Structure 1
Amino acid sequence: MKALFIGGSGTISAAIVRRLSEELNWEVYILNRGNRDLGDLKNVTQIIADINDEEDVLNKLGDMKFDVVSEFIGFTVDAVERDYRLFKDRTNQYIFISSASAYHKPASDYLITEGTTLANPHWEYSRNKIACEEFLMDKYRNEGFPVTIVRPSHTYDERSIPLGVHGKNGSFQVIKRMLEGKPVIIQGDGTSLWTLTFNKDFAVGFTALMGNPHAYGEAFQITGDETLSWNQIYQTIAEALGVELNAYHISSEYLSAVGDKYGFDFEGSLIGDKAVSVVFDNSKLKRIVPDMKTNIPFSEGVRIALDYVMSHEECQVEDPEFDSWCDRVIIALENAKLSV
């Protein structure tokens, strides 16, 4: 079996590529700009190209055809329209990575299925994903284009720590605040529910959809089974670090209002996503992928991630702007308490 991945080196796709090449013996091609080392993977060929340069891509693909083409870096309708032009006659299945953030906000029910309405007025990213889905499903219904939609929620790997509130440089500054005993901002009261999925677990569900005729014309959410509150998530991180959590709870609406002028899109990432309690009903996926389950719970996954981050300096990207912003916001709220 032969697969092409557009992207192929990100949090989700890297685990899928590794599983295909090392465990399932697929012939894998990765099309990207070559900015990240793929490591020593067997049966993996890298095609270095800008996917937006269609003429160059066509020249480099030659007459190749694929059992599966997977799009991991498509965020707008323009991207999937381009993919349709490039691959409509080159693949038996096209898998588009959408997002669970596309589900209706605010949610009408905490239990999310693939039939939950898609609508997110708070996040342009999510609305663009919805538009991509609509374009692709129209091509399936009217032209038989063999599309499968996959909606991940919060998937993480060893290179980053999943958090609710962080700056533009990722999660390390929050980890640093924890280690220094400084207060760490948690959105809301920390009791909303969230699902975290380690990328190796995600890869089990995804690879079982590849080449599976029961997946054509269908959408699937892929998440683990473990549901935690944000307080539990942050507490688990602190315990793995061996420190006491100094939690500071702030409403998502307030964070959105005071973060906007500094370029922190907390309306999208919080009100449009992480501030909402979600529990995923994955029975549709498990009917055709019975092996899909949580093999790496967060208590284990976070230790894997922390061990990696703390031993790789390139992952320790500090964010003084975000650090200073956290201090100012907390001081402002503490002063407001005194003035009432």
Structure 2
Amino acid sequence: MRKYQKILVTGADGFIGSHLVEYLVSLGYDVRAFVQYNSFNSWGWLDQSGENIKKSIEVFSGDIRDPYGVKKAMSGCDAVLHLAALIAIPYSYHSPDTYVDTNIKGTLNILQAAKELNVQKIVHTSTSEVYGTAEYVPITEEHSLVGQSPYSASKIGADQMAIAFHRSFGTPVAIIRPFNTYGPRQSARAVIPTIITQIAAGNNKIHLGSIHPTRDFTYVEDTVSGFVRVMESDAAVGEVIQVGSNFEISIGNTARMIAEVMNAEIVIECDDNRLRPKLSEVERLWCDNSKAKRLLEWQPRFGGNEGFREGIRRTVIWFTNSENLGQYKSEIYNM
């Protein structure tokens, strides 16, 4: 018998959240999907899920910034996987106030409701961006936190709120810290979909920002399996646990690998609009995933150079499907 029966996923309409909902349903969990309210009654990426998924879940439309709606959504749930957040770094330069409201206040709403409802487990989603440029590699969970963008600062604040509730009230919180997740359905504001959609549109001149920074890209299937492992593990409570591939690659070499997979010849051109402010650019990210392996017995299926290539291949297949590609505007920079 499962320890947790009813699971709430916030941000269920998003890239990672929709994959996580599908995975939880496949494992037999009873899932309530918290999606952003809108007048179109859109469930985001969950609208693309199979009918078996949509019939299996309970959808709750609301706003993570509303404490009353959040508490209602959490009522009757044994565990909460909290992914709802604003995540686009460029937009955080434009509208930082919304990031404080959504990421910090939204997390506070989850934690406060969990305390009042005696929810058995909260998994809060962090990000590798909280580290800023790596001071050493591979990065461990003990690395210092540096807010190099309003987005990362808001996520540091949210992480610290989660830790504070655990230490102050014994709230059963675990923090998962994914590195750069990629895969089908990812927003075009992220670099891998940006490259794929430009090539798929027939462009050989690919517009990017800085290409020398490195990232640790993690395929979405690995990320969602990490979420479930953190949720199911008692040892994860009170801990920050990184989920990453332990493989470092530059943006430029990522673009070249994608071009190889797509059998394309490309020229990379710098677009000033895509550059971060100089002191805000995170130059290097590389995950030490040994804690996840030790505490959760988790490891990436798509690790290393060959694993990354396979993840890229799967991502390209999805994006180059005409119905999927038609949902993206490759000619417009998505802030």
User: What TM-score do the two structures reach when normalised by structure 2?
Assistant: 0.78
Partner SS for 1:280: coil
Structure 2 counterpart of 1:155: 181
Over the aligned positions, Cα root-mean-square deviation in angstroms equals 2.9
Structure 2 counterpart of 1:307: 317
Partner SS for 1:111: coil
Q: Say which of 15, 26, 48 aligns to 2:19.
A: 15
Alpha-carbon distance, 1:43 to partner: 4.3
Q: Which structure 2 residue ranges, 5 or more long, are not aligned?
A: 86-101
Whether 1:70 and 2:81 are equivalent positions in the alignment is yes
Q: Say which of 187, 210, 219 aligns to 1:187.
A: 210
Structure 2 counterpart of 1:289: 296
Decide whether aligned partners of structure 1 residues 5 and 321 sit closer, same or farther in structure 2, where only a CA change above 3 A counts.
closer
Q: 2:166 touches 2:173 (CA, 8 Å); kept in 1? A: yes
The aligned runs of 1:1-340 (5 Å cut-off) are 1=4, 2-22=6-26, 24-32=27-35, 33=37, 34-36=42-44, 37=47, 38-39=49-50, 40-41=52-53, 43-59=56-72, 64-66=76-78, 68-74=79-85, 75-88=102-115, 89-103=117-131, 105-120=132-147, 122-160=148-186, 170-171=194-195, 174-176=198-200, 179-185=202-208, 187-188=210-211, 190=212, 192-248=213-269, 258-259=272-273, 264=274, 266-267=276-277, 271-273=280-282, 276-295=283-302, 297-316=307-326, 317-322=328-333
Deviations 1:77-123 (A, max 9, x none): 211221123222241111111110001x3332132000000112x30
The AA in structure 2 aligned to 1:226 is: F
Aligned length: 299
Decide whether aligned partners of structure 1 residues 265 and 27 sit closer, same or farther in structure 2, where only a CA change above 3 A counts.
farther
Counterparts of 2:135 and 2:302 in 1: how far apart (Å)?
30
Structure 2 counterpart of 1:328: none
The AA in structure 1 aligned to 2:23 is: R
The AA in structure 1 aligned to 2:284 is: S
Partner SS for 2:232: coil
Decide whether aligned partners of structure 1 residues 171 and 94 sit closer, same or farther in structure 2, where only a CA change above 3 A counts.
same
The AA in structure 2 aligned to 1:35 is: W
Q: Which structure 1 residue ranges, 5 or more long, are not aligned?
A: 324-340
Alpha-carbon distance, 1:321 to partner: 4.9
Alpha-carbon distance, 1:180 to partner: 3.0
Counterparts of 2:158 and 2:73 in 1: how far apart (Å)?
26
**Percent identity of paired positions between Structure 1 and Structure 2:** 23
Q: 2:8 touches 2:77 (CA, 8 Å); kept in 1? A: no
Moved over 4 A (4+): 56-61, 160-166, 169-173
Bigger Rg, which one:
1
Partner SS for 1:180: coil
Alpha-carbon distance, 1:146 to partner: 1.1
Counterparts of 1:59 and 1:230 in 2: how far apart (Å)?
42
